[in-house]
Chain A
Amino acid sequence: MNIYQEELLDHYENPSNYGTLPRCTISHEEDNPLCGDQIRIDLLIEDDTVKEVRFCGHGCTISLAAASMLTEKIEGKSLDEVKQLSKDDILDMIGIPLGPVRLKCALLALKVLKAGAYGITAWPGEEDE
C-alpha cells in the first residue's frame, strides 16, 4: 500500500485544528532531531477534558497528517482517555505499514502530546524499555 494515499494527503493539505490557542492550559513543542520535523500542540483543558486543541509546525506528510488526525481524535476526550492512546492507535489511524524511520514521523505528535500533558518523554511504544 502506498504511503501517499489520498486520505493522508488530504490531512496534509487541509489539516484539522491547525494553528495555536492564544488561551491554553498546555503548550508544548518538540522536534525529531533525525529529520528536523517540529510540532507544537496547544491544549485547552476544562474539567479534565480536552476542550480545544490546535497544532502547528513543519514536517513531512506523515508527521503532519498524523498530528491532524490525532487532534481530531482527542477533542472532547478526557485526560484519562488521552493518556491511554498508544502507538498502535496512531498506526490504526494512519492505516498503512510504516518503516522504522517513518514510524517516528507518525509518532511525533503523540510524543509531543504526552510530554506536554503528562511529562512522559519516551517515544510512544518505548515507554518501558
Chain B
Amino acid sequence: MHKLEFRPFDIEAIRKDFPIFTTDPPLAFLDNAASTQTPRPVVEAMDAYYDTYRSNIHRGIYRISEEATEQYERAREKVAQLINAPRSRQVIFTRNTTESINLVAYSWGSTNIGEGDEIVLTTMEHHSNLVPWQLLAQRTGATLRFVEITDEGLLDFTQLRDLLTEKTKLVAIGHVSNVLGTINPIQSIIDMAHAVDAKVIVDAAQSVPHFQVDVQQLDCDFLAFSGHKMCGPTGIGVLYGKSELLEEMPPFLGGGSMIRSVERDVSSYAELPAKFEAGTPSIAEAIGLGHAIDYITQANLAAIHVHEQELLKYAHQRLEQIEGITLYGPAPHQKMGVISFNMEGIHPHDVAGILDTHGVAVRAGHHCAQPLMKRLDVIATVRASLYLYNTIEDVDRLYEGLCRAQKLMTRRKIT
C-alpha cells in the first residue's frame, strides 16, 4: 500500500461542503453504501463544464472542445493515480460498477470462457457481480461455484481452497460486502486464484470509496467501482484492467469513438481506452468524479477510514444495548462501516419508515444480495452505512429512532 500521511480530520469543515446537512436538525444520512452525498466542489466542477466549456470531447477542433477533452482525460489520470494503475489507458469509463462487470462478462467472457469452465463467486456478492456471470454461464455452458460464508459472515477459506482447481477460469469477488461490511482478504484470494491460472475481477464498489486500493500491489486482473458511492455524481463508473487483457478483448459496445476506421462491412478499432468507450460518454460526470477523487484524497482516505471505524465501534456499542436487536456480520474490526440488523418482531420496512420520521435515512430490503439473505435466513435487513461526513450525533439519532420504533411497535401483536 501507499504510505499515507495522517492528517487531522476536520469534520466541521467537511460538513460545510454538503448543503444537504444545513437543516436543523441535520439529516442523519446513513445510506452511504447505496449512494453518497455530493460536496460543493464536485457540483461546481460540473457546473463549470456546463457554464463555460460545454461541448463534446475528442472531435471538436475548437478551444472549448479541447478543454472538455483535456478535463475528461485529466479525470482518467486522477482515477489511475487513485488506484495506482500503471497507465491511465487502463482506466475505462463506464456508467457504474454494474456496467464495468458486464463489460468484462461479455467481452472477456465471450473469448475466454467455455463449456466446463468454472467461475468462482461468493454467497455475499451483490447481484451486479452475480447476474452477469449467470448470463455468461448460460451462454457458454460454464458452471458457477460459490464460496460459502461462516456464521460470523466471513468467507470459508477451506472451502475456497477446495473450489479453486484447474477448471477455475475466473474468480469474481467483492472486496467489501455491501450488506455485512466484511472486508474480504482479496490479496490472498488473488494469489490463490493466480496459482491455478484463474483471472480475478474485484468488485470494489464498497472499498475504493473508503480506503486505498492499489491494483498493482493486489495484482488483480480487473477491478470495478462506481463514482456515486465516493462523493461523485451518478452515471460514471470505472473498469480497470491489465493491459494485455484489455488489448486482446473484443469491443463491448460498437459505435462512434471506439473505431479507427469503418468500412461497409468491417471496422478496425481504436486503441485503449477508446475501444471500450463507444458513443458520447458522461463528460460532466467524469469531470465530477475527478473532483470527487480530489475531495476524498484531500480529506485523506486513511483519516476517513479511522473516522468511520470510530463511528462504527461506537454504533455497535450503542445498538448492542437495544433489546431484541440482531446484528449481522463480523465484529467491527473485521469490517467496514456497514451495519445490517433486524429488530425482533418489527418488519425492516417499518424500522426504516419510523427512522425516516425521525430524520434518519437508512435502507431496508435485500440490498441486491438475495442469496446472502437466504444464507442469513432473513427476508430483509435494515442497513445503516457510514461515510466521512457522518457524526456521533447521527449514530445517536439512529439509536434514539430505534428505541422509538421499539416503543411504538412491540406492544403490538405481530402477525
A interface, CB within 8 angstroms of B: 2-4, 9, 12-15, 18, 34-37, 56-62, 64, 101-102, 105
Contacts and interface: CB of A to CB of B under 8 A. Distances in A.
Interface stretch (B282-290, B299-307, B345-353): B345-353
Contacts of B350: 4, 60-61
Interface string B133-171: 000000000000000000000000000000000000000
Contact of B349 (A13, A14, A57, A105): A105
B376 to A, nearest CB: 12
Chain A at the B interface: mostly helix, strand, loop or mixed?
mixed
Contacts, number: 56
Interface string B338-360: 00000000011110011001000
Contact of B365 (A2, A15, A18, A35): A35
21 contacts: A2-B357, A3-B353, A4-B350, A9-B408, A9-B412, A13-B412, A14-B413, A18-B415, A35-B379, A36-B366, A36-B379, A56-B415, A57-B415, A59-B349, A60-B347, A60-B348, A60-B353, A61-B347, A61-B349, A61-B353, A105-B349
Interface in B348-392: 348-350, 353-354, 357, 364-366, 379-380
Given A4-B354, A4-B408, A35 B415 contact: no
B415 A62 contact: no
Interface of B: 347-350, 353-354, 357, 364-366, 379-380, 408-409, 412-413, 415
Contacts of B413: 13-14
B364 A35 contact: yes
In the complex, the 3 A-B pairs of residues with the closest C-beta atoms, listed nearest first? A36-B379, A60-B349, A60-B347
A105 B364 CA distance: 13
A64 B415 contact: yes
A57 B409 CA distance: 18
A62 B412 contact: no
A36 B342 CA distance: 14
Contacts of A13: 412-413
Nearest to B354: A4
A3 B357 contact: yes
Contacts of A56: 415
Contacts of B364: 35
Given A35-B347, A60-B348, 12 more contacts: A4-B353, A4-B354, A4-B357, A35-B364, A35-B379, A37-B347, A37-B349, A56-B415, A60-B347, A61-B350, A61-B353, A105-B349
